[in-house]
Amino acid sequence: MPISSYLQHDVLSRAEALGVKARIIVEGLRVGDHKSPYRGFSVEFVQHREYVPGDDIRHIDWKSYGRSERYTVKQYEQETNFIGHLVLDASRSMLYGEGAANKLEYAKLIIASLAHLIITQRDSASLNIFDQTWRTRLPTSSQMGHLRTILTALESCEPKEKTEVGNLLEDLASTSRRRGLVFVVSDGLVEVQDMLRGLRFLRLRGHEVTLLHVMHNDEMTLPFEGMVKFDGLEEMRHLLTQPHMIRTTYQRVVQAYLKELREGCEAMHCDYVLLDSTKPLGPALSQYLAARLRVRRI
């Protein structure tokens, strides 16, 4: 798929309208739209506090001293930019789906959209593509040129091995020193606990984690009729069955899996978004971002 195709106009327009607002204060090297937890010299006054020994005397508000003869220190809220870690699952299981409904393509679209949004806000974004290992890792950058690098990396990304998510997310958590937003785009066809373990490491590092769970509608409903031979995309095994006979059970199993994953995420205060690759991305992404703004947390 050409690079430009990942930046769909309608997707981006709706996303821009809503804006990407970090819910929590992230660290940033640059002054941006995002509030910083660091107090310092800045334009936006926050509060006064008592001077305590050790405070830099440069921050004493002498005007206040003149009025009250008490030493107070002025505190300002420092605005900063954030780092968005975009993590893409490029294992073979992501190959499922035809055309635009292909999970990997859909996931690439999500990554591209997020990258565009982040970088156009002058925030930094990094790209991490994995299967069993890290296949591509692009450093964080807020340069517009970096967006092109990301898109090129997405374009050249081909699915290969099996998914190994837990350890890789742990690795990501340990290597990213600064807290930020982590967007994990995956079909999640791994052990739930392994996925949750990886997400937990990220959360422990203070990242705001969002799991964008991409699934094809077929994988949730098993709509096939007749005799079907299922060839495993990651596993070299075949299953011959009549899907309609196991459909109910299958759907029950899938729902149980989704429920476990969702509840695991919620327990760790991770955002969990289930995306159906057969449905247009725009409305789904808009809905997610709107929800983020409504639930602003400090």
Partner 1 sequence: MSFLTPTMLWGALAAGIPIALHFFYRSRYRTVPWAAMKFLLTSMEQTSRRLKFQELLLLILRCLLLVVLALALARPTAKTSGSAGKGEAIDAVFLMDTSASMAARDGEKTRWERAREAALGILDQLPPYSTVQIVSCSDRATLAGPRVPSNLDQAKQVLDELKPSDLTTDLMPGAAEALKALERGNAPNKEVYVFSDMQKRGFEQQPSGLSENLKKLRERGMVHLVRCGTRTPSNVSIVSLTPQMGLPRAGQRTLFTVMVRNTGKEPVRNVVVSLSVNGKIEKGDIAAGPADGKQETENVVGPGETKPFAVSARLDKAGTNVLTARVENDELDRDNRFDQVIQVFEQLRILVVDGFVDEKNPERSASFFLRFAFNPIPVEVIPANQASAVSLSGKDLCVLSNVSLDPSQNQSGRVSERFLEALANFVREGKSLLIFGGSNVKAESYNRLLLDRYKLLPVKLGAAFKAPEDKPLSFDRNSARGAYDRVREDRNYQSMERVPIMQVLKVDEPKADAAPRAEGEAVEEVQVLLRYNNGMPAIVGRKRATEGDVLLFTSAAHDEDWTLWPLDPSFLATIQMTFRGLLDQQTPLLNRTVGEALTFSPTGKDAGLPFILVKPDGKRERLGVPQLAQGRPLVRTSETSMAGVYRMTPDREIIGEGAAVFAVTPDPRETEDLTALTNAELDDLLGFKAIHVTAGQNAGEWATDERLNREWTMWVLIVLMILVVSETVLAWVCGRAW
| Shortest Å distance, C-beta 231 to partner 1 | 5
Q: Which of 158, 193, 230, 296 binds partner 1 (CB under 8 A)?
A: 230
Q: Which of 11, 107, 114, 189 binds partner 1 (CB under 8 A)?
A: 189
How far is it, in rounded angstroms, from Cα 7 to Cα 280? 13
C-beta of 16 vs 158, nearer to partner 1:
158
Strands (E), 124-170: 124-130, 134-141
Residue 24's nearest CA partner among 39, 36, 15 is 36
Beta bridge partners of 238: 231
- Could you tell me which residues are beta bridge partners of residue 274? 213
Q: Which CB sits closer to partner 1, 227 or 295? A: 227
Asked if 298 interacts with partner 1 (CB under 8 A), we say: no
With binding defined as CB under 8 A, does residue 246 bind partner 1?
yes
187 makes contact with partner 1 (CB under 8 A): yes
- Residue 66 forms beta bridges with which residues? none
Number of residues that bind partner 1 (CB under 8 A): 38
Residue from 242, 269, 287, 290 in contact with partner 1 (CB under 8 A): 242
Which helix (H) or strand (E) segment is 170 a member of? helix 166-175
Our measurement of the distance from residue 95's CA atom to the centroid of its chain's CA atoms, rounded to an integer in Å, reads 20
Q: How far apart are CA 69 and CA 66, in angstroms?
A: 6
24 lies in the binding site for partner 1 (CB under 8 A):
no
Which CB atom, from 13 or from 242, has the smaller least distance to partner 1?
A: 242
Stretch that binds partner 1, among 14-22, 79-87, 222-230, 264-272 (CB under 8 A): 222-230
